[in-house]
Amino acid sequence: MPKSRVTMCLVLSLAAPLATGCAETSTNPYLSTDRATRENDVIVHLFEWRWDDVAEECETYLGPASFSAVQVSSPIENSVVEGRPWWERYQVVSYEVDTRSGDREAFADMVSRCRAAGVDIYVDAVLNHMTGVYAGVGTAGSTFAEYEYPGLYSRDDFHHCGMTRGDDIEDWDDPRQVRDCELVNLADLKTGESTVRARLAEYASDMLSLGVAGFRLDAARHMPAEDIGVILDLAGGEPYIYQEVLDMVPEPTWALEYVENGSVTEFRYGVSVGLIFRRGSLASLHGKGSMWERVRFLASETAVVFLDNHDTQRHTDENGVLTYKDGALYDLGLVYMLAYPYGRPRVMSSFEFATRRQGPPALEDESIKRVHGADGLNCARGEWVCEHRRGLVTAMVRFRKVTASEFRVTHWWTDGRDRIAFGRGGLGFVAINRSGETMTEHLQTGLPEGSYCNVLSGDPQHGPCSGLPVEVDAKGMAELSIPAMKAVALHVDVG
């Protein structure tokens, strides 16, 4: 069993954002409830980046910009799939650190350099399965066949559920099928067996020995929570854990079992926020009758939140999430996520894609293209998107840090439709205008009297805060004029 258990809390209403459905919690070695170091620390997912690029990004941008951690793609050998789709990284061949992102030496160098820059590395860890049920070769040259991975696993180390045709999951609400049958034909490991647990723990321990600070556990819902807890115990250390658990109904069902091991990805957040920004009323983002009352989200200290991830951004026609392809609407969603006091935020950093299958930008030899190339930074040129480098994201990461000690919403205002504003005590204030016209309002900010910079007003030529200052009077009131599809963010750390 896991070292300790956390009593699950559900957010009942964020009219008072910290109200929860329970009064008792206990210490968990995998989950920090210190808001100064977790919920106000922002993760960025540098999806499919090379290790040398991640290292350089930590040193030149992420560290100085106060990002706390990078989620990197799976570092272990994966199957070489024709066409090199992004999902080949989730088809594990061995635990050798060797992928298109780089080898073990490059990985270790990245972890060390990022840590020196003040940025943790979180590994996207695939523990539930190996490759699809076929024969092939891996990125390190290892060969494999159906349920046969020389030196690691053989047929008896995998589930053969016998409940469905081809042993694939058919009923996604049946816990036995979800955990014992195959996820889209991927060879499903018997994580309840001691030998399998030991090998998975050895892999996790090896990552920790290289300086990795945490894990995003892929397909966690497809493994019993107890199995995950045992594997973590065997691995040792105290990494930050967040588990991928897809739980989309208003009342959480699957996620409740997993918080004993650490944080959980709150998928319903991105879908809810996306749908509201797309076609709902922004008034639904807080208070009475809001999404916080319609959906029982996970407790803030256990939730990792995001507008989109590498999966959901490829299915917007089905789930309505916002992505980089939504332009200004996506930007406004990011401002809300990074300003609102709920969960630990994770920002997606994508590559351009035209099809759901498409892999990262690559050269003719199929090696991944550099982001930090010889011809300069390859961001926003039609290949790497680099959403995290947008000025508004950097500004809002800082905003979240500055307002950390006031983890609550104050001075909520809305026109009932397309415009909202709220404060973070006396430390910060945000106003968002989703409408097609300029928003002119005289609003209470909660801020001390003074002249404030709108940290979202910068431009590449003149730097941050190049717009007109916002004057706050002795009563905390400010006259705001916000163009269509723009936002204002003020905080006490910038004059």
Q: Which of 180, 182, 188, 218 does the annotation list as catalytic?
A: 218
pLDDT at residue 22 tops 70: no
* Percent over 90 (pLDDT), the chain: 86
- pLDDT score at 251: 73
Report how far residue 283's alpha carbon sits from residue 419's, in angstroms, rounded to the nearest whole number.
8
| 165, two tokens | 């045709």
Give the residue among 103, 92, 95 at the shortest CA–CA distance from 51. Answer: 103
76: tokens are: 């272990």
Active-site residue (options: 39, 57, 244, 257): 244
Fold topology of 43-265+351-384: TIM Barrel (3.20.20)
Per the CB < 8 A criterion, the answer to whether 464 and 458 are in contact is yes
SS3 state of residue 211: coil
Burial class (CB in 10 A: 0-12, 13-18, 19+), 27: exposed
Q: Structural domain boundaries of the chain?
A: 43-265+351-384, 410-491
pLDDT at residue 9 is higher than 80: no
Confidence grade of residue 37 (pLDDT, cut at 50, 70, 90): low
pLDDT over 70, % of the chain: 90
Is-contact 265 242, C-beta < 8 A? Answer: yes
Q: How many helices and strands, by DSSP H and E, does the chain display?
A: 10, 25
Task: Give the architecture (CATH level 2) of 410-491.
Answer: Sandwich (2.60)
Give the side-chain half-sphere CA count within 13 A for 466.
8
pLDDT of residue 19: 32
In the DSSP assignment, the letter for residue 351 is B
CA 459 and chain centroid, separation: 27
> 244: which 2 tokens?
């991928």
Residue 54 three-state SS: helix
Question: Residues 239, 30: contact at Cβ < 8 Å?
Answer: yes
218 is catalytic: yes
8 A C-beta contact, residue 207 and residue 241: no
CA distance 165 to 150: 27
Burial class (CB in 10 A: 0-12, 13-18, 19+), 206: middle
The predicted pLDDT at position 468 comes to 79
How far is 439 from 324, CA to CA, in rounded Å? Answer: 24
Instruction: Please say if 226 is a catalytic residue.
Output: no
Q: What would the pLDDT profile of 347-357 be if each residue is shown by its tens digit?
A: 999 999 999 99
Average pLDDT of every residue of the chain: 91
| Neighbouring residues of 457: CB distance < 8 A, sequence distance ≥ 6 | 464, 465, 466, 467, 468, 488
Residue 16 has pLDDT above 50, yes or no: no
pLDDT digits (tens, 9 = 90+) for 305-323: 999 999 999 999 888 999 9
- State the Cα–Cα distance between residues 394 and 208, nearest whole angstrom: 29
Diameter over CA atoms, the chain: 73
Dihedral sign computed on CA atoms, order 473, 476, 479, 483: positive
Please provide residue 432's backbone torsions phi and psi, each rounded to the nearest 5 degrees: -125, 130
